Amino acid sequence: MPILPDWINFNFPTKIHFEVDCGFKMGNFIKNIGSRAVILSTQSELENMDEFSIIKTSLEKHIDGVILYDNIEKEPTLKDLDTAAYFARISNANCIIGYGSFESLNTAKLVALLANNDSFAEEVFISKKALRLKKPIPLVLIPTHPVMGLECAPISTVYMDEDRTVRYFSHEYLFPEMVIADAKISAFMTSADVAKVGVGILAAAVDSILSKYSNELTNSSSLRAIEIIYKNLVPAIRDPKNLQYKNSIFGASLLVGMSHSSSSLGLCYALSLAASNLTNLDVFQAMSILLPHVMEYNLTSSAGKYVMIAKALDEDITNISVIEAAIKAVEGIRKIYIELKIPQRLSEYEVRKIDLPGIASLASSFPFLDSLPRELPKNEIETILVAAF
């Protein structure tokens, strides 16, 4: 399921500012986008308040109004989205700013779209009825740490009110106007945080490469992201306060997001989104656990692409067959896991075997699975989960 019309090979309209310690400049950037801003952040992701205060002060110097909306505790319900959109409307906001991690940025994308349309969240994101949507309120996203490219890709998740089951939604109107990536904001991250986020970026890059909608442009972006993670992740974990290494990881995440704008996420993300919805795993942990197992499943159908991944991981593939080189890609990923001591089993995170059919069923419902290089029946999804258990 390509996000863009299938006659477009690549499109990335988002402006990016990528600089360490630029919080005091953000008002100067955003004044050209809007003069009245609502900052959206979930309560659980409103982190690094020192840097947030610097950003808010900068905004107040350059624009007419800044309001923080943090009434949503964690994942937003449809009602939460409607309430936040109504707040943005009555505030006369002409700019939405998302500050935080996965859920905060996701919420900001959806609210920016809803606030400029006369429809409820259920009608836009859940109903199968086709709606003619207006362009959203201009959106600026400020990630507190890299989120696997989702900070700049037109992708979001929506939670059903009645059973809290996650749904997937993508639309070209979800592209943010600007992403500001400042590694200093992520100073609160521990070595464990850096590890799971970095491997999550690695998994998202592989997903994009394996998509049948990938092309030379998207592959180049994702392969460069893999190279950057391979070279910088271990140093960043050993020295989590070193902003140079963290900055590189932010850059890798942005490159993956550019790739996803025209390619697609795939099986690893589908399984991870479902697992994080139905268990205590977060999406980054799930991506890191499931990546090697997904790669093993797709090895024979995407051997040529695996050769490119092996090269990006600096594996020696001279004088060996394509299949042997493809195996080197999986081995390269596992070497990283061994060095970082990353768990490779779902059971290590207290996921129960009884949860696996539900994860498989939810994962199989996501529409972007039609981007996979080979057809994937639900029973084979369960087989991958059992192997990862």
Count of CB atoms within 10 A of residue 38's CB?
27
Mode of pairing for the β-strands spanning 95-100 and 15-18? unpaired
pLDDT at residue number 337? 85
Helix (H, G, I), strand (E, B) or coil at 103: helix
pLDDT at residue number 118? 83
pLDDT at residue number 221? 95
The single-letter DSSP state of residue 173 is G
Residue 170 CA to residue 226 CA, distance in Å, equals 24
Question: What is the reported pTM?
Answer: 0.93
Burial call 165-195: b when 16+ CB within 10 Å, e when fewer: ebbbbbbebbbbbbbbbbbbbbbebeeeebb
| 212 contacts 312 by C-beta, under 8 angstroms | no
Among 1.10.10.10, 3.60.15.10, 3.40.630.10, 1.20.1090.10, name the CATH number for the domain at 191-388. 1.20.1090.10
pLDDT at residue number 21? 95
Residue 257 CA to residue 264 CA, distance in Å, equals 10
Helix (H, G, I), strand (E, B) or coil at 32: coil
| 49 contacts 211 by C-beta, under 8 angstroms | no
If phi > 0 it is left, if psi is from -120 to 50 it is alpha, else beta; for residue 100 that is: left
Residue 330 CA to residue 346 CA, distance in Å, equals 18
Residue 225 CA to residue 327 CA, distance in Å, equals 20
Helix axes 267-278, 356-364, angle to 10 degrees: 130
pLDDT at residue number 5? 59
Residue 185 CA to residue 64 CA, distance in Å, equals 24
Distances (CA, A) of 384 to 173, 289, 290, 298, 336: 34, 11, 8, 11, 21
Half-sphere CA count of 178, side-chain side, radius 13 A? 20
Residue 168 CA to residue 383 CA, distance in Å, equals 23
Can you give the pLDDT of all 389 residues of the chain as single tens digits?
Answer: 556 656 567 888 999 999 999 999 999 999 999 999 999 999 999 999 999 999 999 999 999 999 999 999 988 999 999 999 999 999 999 999 999 999 999 999 999 999 999 889 888 887 767 778 899 999 999 999 999 999 999 999 988 877 778 888 888 899 999 999 999 999 999 998 999 899 999 999 999 999 988 999 999 999 999 999 999 999 999 998 899 999 999 999 999 999 988 888 889 999 999 999 988 888 988 998 899 898 888 888 888 899 999 999 988 888 888 888 888 988 888 888 888 887 778 888 878 889 899 999 998 888 888 888 777 877 888 888 988 88
Q: Where in the chain is the domain with CATH 3.40.50.1970?
A: 15-186
Q: Which CATH code fits 15-186?
A: 3.40.50.1970
One-letter amino acid of 374: R
One-letter amino acid of 65: G
Residue for token pair 């949503």: 72
| 115 contacts 136 by C-beta, under 8 angstroms | yes
| 157 contacts 368 by C-beta, under 8 angstroms | no
